[in-house]
Structures are given as structure tokens and as C-alpha cells.
């Protein structure tokens, strides 16, 4: 029996079939069969509908739903499991302000239980985090789908704890801090982020803040973050995969993998126009970078390998504007960039009677240290040449069954950029 003391206009209906559409300004509670149990109206209608599920459903294992018609409603907190909250088909549902009550402490949505789905809502200018998910480690199954979050006062979406949270097609604009912030996802259950965009984050677009495991990110676009586009720099982070992501115009590095991060992969992705490095690798091991353009568009270098010790890395299928190349071993204290079309003249010409056989890349040291080293690999050619004034053969050039390689150590690397390319 639903509690009668809710102070909003409500029409209580027992086991009625769901209407073809929810009226503007109305919010329906539906049971697991889709029957309408109650209808609410008013600024707090979504929260009142969620509260009605708590008081009117038994047991809580029954999968009920709350469906909102077009309108603007106050914030709401989900403290019960097995609940879906969504916009009705074609409805424009805005969660803006707090209604008559502040149920979240300044956000749009708070979720503290598992098996909850939030779909198709717009969160408008909350003073705190737009959608805040805080779960006990024994619970998971939270799904956030097709949410638009505009100018939140802290983060767009923040997730702490739990056994798997999925975020699909978010549209996050202008968060004061991070677009998506993940913390304490310590179980092995995967947490997928797929599609969507983060634009104009005040700090980082996507931050793996602390103890984050088993995150897969596909098809996400991050644009204009004032800090990092994507950042993982915590020793508790592991098994993060970024595929098909696009990171553009970051105020610092486009992608940061550091701080003891273990087993991270960046594949089939593009990182361009960063004020720092495109991809910066610090103290991170088991890193795999593959099928990533290296185009010379990042101010501090497309790939920057700091001096920390790394192990188990793989850097294959890198794509300069004029051809592919790879790196062997673990580069240290070097920056690598492609040669953009605007600077093609820097790599023009070549040794007498030889032809270019692949990509030209800038390689330089990041510091005056004795341990800097990088091994370039090209698919073809008879020798690698360095242009620093004129073209000169790199003595360590070797033709192997896997292609052409050259090891560049302290004697070949200065602090000024030089161009390296294969010829044959």
C-alpha cells in the first residue's frame, strides 16, 4: 500500500496498464509488468515517485520503474535497488534545481544502491556533481545512459565503489572539475564507458582518480579540457583500456598514464592539439599503444616518455603522416613527434642515391641524463638517417627479419629535435 502522506498532487492507480505516453509534467510509477501504480505531479514529482517505490513495493527485488513526461523537475536520490528511472519516449526531461526540497545536496541525481538504470535525462547547472554514484562494494549493475549534464559545479559524473557501473553516450559540458571521475572500483567486474562526449572540463575530461580497475572506454570524445583529457596516475589503477577515443585541445597532456598505473592500453585512438604532450608515459608498466596517429600537433610532443622505469610496454602501429613506425623496448627521457605537413620541408631531401622508405619523425631528449634511449622500427629500408643540418646514417641501423631498426642512445640524442627517417 502506498503511503498517503506525500504532499504532492498524486493519482493512485492499482495495476492499471501503462498509457501510450506520459503527460507533460507527470511522472508515473510502474510495476514489473508495466502497470501504472501511481502518477505524481509538481516540482518534486520524480523524487516523490522514487519514494513511493520504496514504500509501496515489496519485496524490493521486484524491478519497478519511474517514467517522466516532458518537464523540469527537482533533484532526486535513489536509495533502493532494482529501479529504472527514465524519460518517456520522445520526452524532454530536465532535472534542474532542487524543487521544493534538496534531496541530493546540490546534485541532480544520487545513487546509493545497485541494479539502478537512469536513462535519457538532462541535468542542468547543478551546484555540485551532476550524477553521483556511491556504492558498497557488494553492489553493482548501475547503468547511466544518454544523460546530458550541463555545467555542473563539480564533476559531471562521479562513481565511487561498486561492482561495475556502465556509462553509455553521455553528453557532459562545462563541468567545473572533471567530466567523469572514477574512484575505488576495486573489483574485477568491468566498468564500461562507451560513446558520448565530454567538452570543456575545468580540470580533466576523464580521471581514474584512485584504485580503479577493469575500465573499458570506447568511442568517447574529450574536447577542450583545461587539464588532462584522460588521466590515470595512481598506483592502484590497473587494466584500463581506451579504444576509439578522440582527445582534442587539452590544456595539459591529452592522455597521462603514470603514477604506477598497471596494464593500460590506448588503441585505434587519436590525441591531437594538446598544450602539453599528446600521450605522456611516466611510471606505468604493461602499457600498450597501437594504431595511434603521431601527427606533430601536440605542443610538447606526440609521445613523451619520462625518465621513470617502465616494464612490459608495447608501442606498435604508430602512424606518422607519411608512414607507420614502432618502438622497441621501453623508451626513457625522450619525446617523439610526427612531422606535420606545415613542417614537411624540415624532412625534405635525403642521402645521395637513396629514396625515403617510410615515416620521418622528430626524436629528442627530454632531459640531460645518461639513461635516455629509444629504438625506432620501420617496416622497410636499408638504414636510418638523421637530419641535423644534413642527413647522416645512424651507426646502429640494422636490417632484421622484422624490418629496419635503429637504437638511439645518449650520443645520438640531443635536447634539440632532430628528424629520423628510413632510406634505401
pLDDT tens-digit map of 295-330: 999 999 999 999 888 899 999 999 999 999 999 989
Between CA 288 and CA 8 the distance in angstroms is 55
Helices (H), 45-192: 45-56
5, with CB counted inside 10 A (0-12, 13-18, 19+), is exposed
Please tell me the predicted confidence (pLDDT) of residue 13. 37
What lies within 8 Å, CB to CB, of 90 at 6+ separation is 21
Please tell me the predicted confidence (pLDDT) of residue 402. 87
Task: Note whether 381 and 358 are within 8 A (CB).
Answer: yes
Please tell me the predicted confidence (pLDDT) of residue 369. 59
Please tell me the predicted confidence (pLDDT) of residue 368. 66
Please tell me the predicted confidence (pLDDT) of residue 11. 40
Closest to 339 measured CA to CA, from 350, 323, 355, 326: 323
pLDDT-derived band at 64 (thresholds 50, 70, 90) equals: very high
Q: Is it the case that residue 69 has pLDDT exceeding 50?
A: yes
Percent of residues, the chain, with pLDDT higher than 70 = 94
Residue found by looking up cell 500500500 in the block: 1
Strand partners, 36: 16, 30
Please tell me the predicted confidence (pLDDT) of residue 7. 37
Q: What value does the mean pLDDT take over residues 109-136?
A: 97
pLDDT-derived band at 416 (thresholds 50, 70, 90) equals: confident
Q: What value does the mean pLDDT take over residues 61-85?
A: 98
Closest to 303 measured CA to CA, from 317, 202, 312, 371: 317
Between CA 300 and CA 362 the distance in angstroms is 12
81: which 3 cell numbers? 535497488
Q: Is it the case that residue 45 has pLDDT exceeding 80?
A: yes
Query: pLDDT of 172-213, one tens digit each?
Result: 999 999 999 999 998 888 899 999 999 999 999 999 999 999
What lies within 8 Å, CB to CB, of 256 at 6+ separation is 228, 230, 231, 232, 233, 280, 282
Between CA 168 and CA 218 the distance in angstroms is 10
Q: Is it the case that residue 354 has pLDDT exceeding 70?
A: yes
pLDDT-derived band at 340 (thresholds 50, 70, 90) equals: very high
What lies within 8 Å, CB to CB, of 62 at 6+ separation is 31, 32, 82
Q: How far is CA 244 from CA 2, 221, 271, 291, 407, in A?
A: 47, 9, 11, 10, 31
End-to-end CA, the chain: 83
Task: Note whether 365 and 414 are within 8 A (CB).
Answer: yes
Kindly report the pTM of this predicted structure.
0.93
Between CA 115 and CA 158 the distance in angstroms is 17
Q: Is it the case that residue 272 has pLDDT exceeding 90?
A: yes
Least confident range from 14-23, 148-157, 282-291, 296-305: namely: 14-23
pLDDT-derived band at 22 (thresholds 50, 70, 90) equals: very high
105, with CB counted inside 10 A (0-12, 13-18, 19+), is middle
- Give me the count of residues in the chain: 424
Q: Is it the case that residue 2 has pLDDT exceeding 50?
A: no
363: which 3 cell numbers? 626524436
Amino acid at each position: 500500500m502506498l503511503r498517503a502522506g506525500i504532499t504532492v498532487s498524486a493519482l493512485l492507480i492499482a495495476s492499471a496498464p501503462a498509457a501510450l505516453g506520459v503527460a507533460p509534467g507527470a511522472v508515473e510509477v510502474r510495476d514489473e509488468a508495466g502497470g501504472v501504480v501511481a502518477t505524481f505531479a509538481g516540482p518534486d514529482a520524480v523524487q516523490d515517485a522514487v519514494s513511493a517505490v520504496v514504500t509501496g513495493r515489496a519485496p524490493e527485488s521486484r524491478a519497478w520503474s519511474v517514467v517522466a513526461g516532458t518537464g523540469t523537475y527537482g533533484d532526486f536520490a535513489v536509495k533502493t535497488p532494482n529501479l529504472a528511472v527514465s524519460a518517456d519516449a520522445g520526452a524532454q526531461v530536465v532535472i534542474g534545481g532542487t524543487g521544493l526540497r534538496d534531496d541530493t545536496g546540490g546534485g541532480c541525481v544520487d545513487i546509493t544502491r545497485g541494479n539502478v538504470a537512469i536513462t535519457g535525462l538532462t541535468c542542468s547547472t547543478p551546484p555540485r556533481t551532476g550524477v553521483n554514484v556511491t556504492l558498497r562494494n557488494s553492489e553493482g549493475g548501475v547503468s547511466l545512459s544518454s544523460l546530458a549534464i550541463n555545467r555542473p559545479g563539480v564533476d559531471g559524473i562521479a562513481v565511487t565503489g561498486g561492482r561495475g557501473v556502465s556509462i553509455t553516450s553521455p553528453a557532459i559540458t562545462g563541468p567545473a572539475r572533471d567530466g567523469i571521475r572514477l574512484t575505488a572500483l576495486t573489483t574485477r567486474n568491468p566498468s564500461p564507458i562507451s560513446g558520448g562526449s565530454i567538452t570543456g572540463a575545468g580540470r580533466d575530461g576523464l580521471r581514474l582518480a584512485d584504485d580503479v580497475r577493469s575500465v573499458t572506454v570506447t568511442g568517447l570524445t574529450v574536447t577542450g579540457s583545461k587539464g588532462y583529457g584522460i588521466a590515470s596516475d595512481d598506483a592502484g589503477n590497473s587494466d584500463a583500456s581506451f579504444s576509439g577515443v578522440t582527445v582534442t585541445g587539452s590544456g595539459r597532456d591529452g592522455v597521462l598514464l603514470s603514477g604506477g598505473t598497471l596494464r593500460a592500453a590506448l588503441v585505434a585512438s587519436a590525441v591531437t592539439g594538446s598544450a602539453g604532450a599528446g600521450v605522456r608515459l611516466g611510471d606505468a608498466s604493461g602499457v600498450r599503444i597501437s594504431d595511434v596517429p603521431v601527427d606533430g600537433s601536440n605542443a610538447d610532443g606526440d609521445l613523451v616518455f619520462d625518465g621513470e622505469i617502465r616494464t612490459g610496454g608495447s608501442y606498435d602501429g604508430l602512424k606518422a603522416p607519411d608512414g607507420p613506425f614502432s618502438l622497441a623496448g621501453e623508451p626513457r627521457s625522450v619525446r617523439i613527434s610526427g612531422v606535420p605537413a606545415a613542417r614537411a620541408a624540415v624532412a625534405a631531401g635525403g642521402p645521395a642515391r637513396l629514396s625515403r622508405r617510410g615515416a620521418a619523425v622528430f626524436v629528442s631528449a627530454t632531459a640531460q641524463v645518461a639513461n635516455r634511449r629509444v629504438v625506432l622500427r620501420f617496416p622497410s629500408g636499408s638504414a636510418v638517417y638523421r637530419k641535423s643540418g644534413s642527413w647522416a646514417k645512424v651507426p646502429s641501423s640494422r636490417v632484421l627479419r622484422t624490418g629496419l631498426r635503429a637504437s638511439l642512445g645518449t650520443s645520438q640524442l640531443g635536447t634539440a629535435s632532430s628528424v629520423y627517417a628510413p632510406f634505401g
